[in-house]
Amino acid sequence: MSILVDQKITSEFDKSAMIHFQSSAGNYALDMAMWMITEIGDVMWLVLFSIVIFVIRRTRRTGLILLLSLVAGTIGAGYLKGYVVDNPRPNLEFMGSTLPGDIGRDTFVLGTDGSFPSGHAARAAIIALILGFALSQRFPKWCYLIWIFPVLESISRVYVLQHYPMDVLGGTVFGILIAGVIGKKLRLYDIFKKSEPEL
């Protein structure tokens, strides 16, 4: 996927999608909703959320794996977009409603302004994969609903003109890979083991 983006094979699709989203903005309720969703994906809020989960004794392993995955995903996405894939950010002005704050920029390496992969999409996918897995035994039918979060996060990043569609798709795949590797290495599946009674 990164080769497609780096070689500009998907650039026409990306640009036409961005022009469509730029012209679609203007509905106040939708603009506010998209802005709030994109802000939730900021690294600060998600790291804080994972620290809260880590502090709770019962969910400590899940919180640790979530925290490490978020940090690794954020740093990895920043370096990929800074040094590996040459895909500048969309240079379009948001034409929608006046927002209550600036649109949060993604993490990036100083001196670079890359776009692929999206750190917001990567973090949202990490949250969905790890929390979805952690909730899978308790709520087997409902645990998949958490995947609504990365879908909305990805749409919001394109809607506010911060990323191209391929950026958020790449970020989602990158986040799934990071969460999968770290979750396996740190044995996320151990959260389902019953604690043995002391003798």
Domain positions in the chain are 11-188
DSSP one-letter string for 87-120: -BPP-----SSPPSSPPPPPP--TT--B-SS-HH
Tell me what the pLDDT averaged over the chain comes to.
82
Task: Return the amino acid letter for 14.
Answer: D
Query: What is the C-alpha separation between 61 and 186, in angstroms, rounded?
Result: 8
Residues of the chain below pLDDT 50: 195-199
Model pLDDT for residues 135-170, shown as the tens digit of each residue = 888 888 888 899 999 999 999 988 888 888 888 999
What pLDDT shows up at residue 112? 64
What pLDDT shows up at residue 8? 64
Q: Please, are residues 120 and 41 in contact by the beta-carbon 8 Å criterion?
A: yes
Kind and range of the H or E element at 8? Answer: none
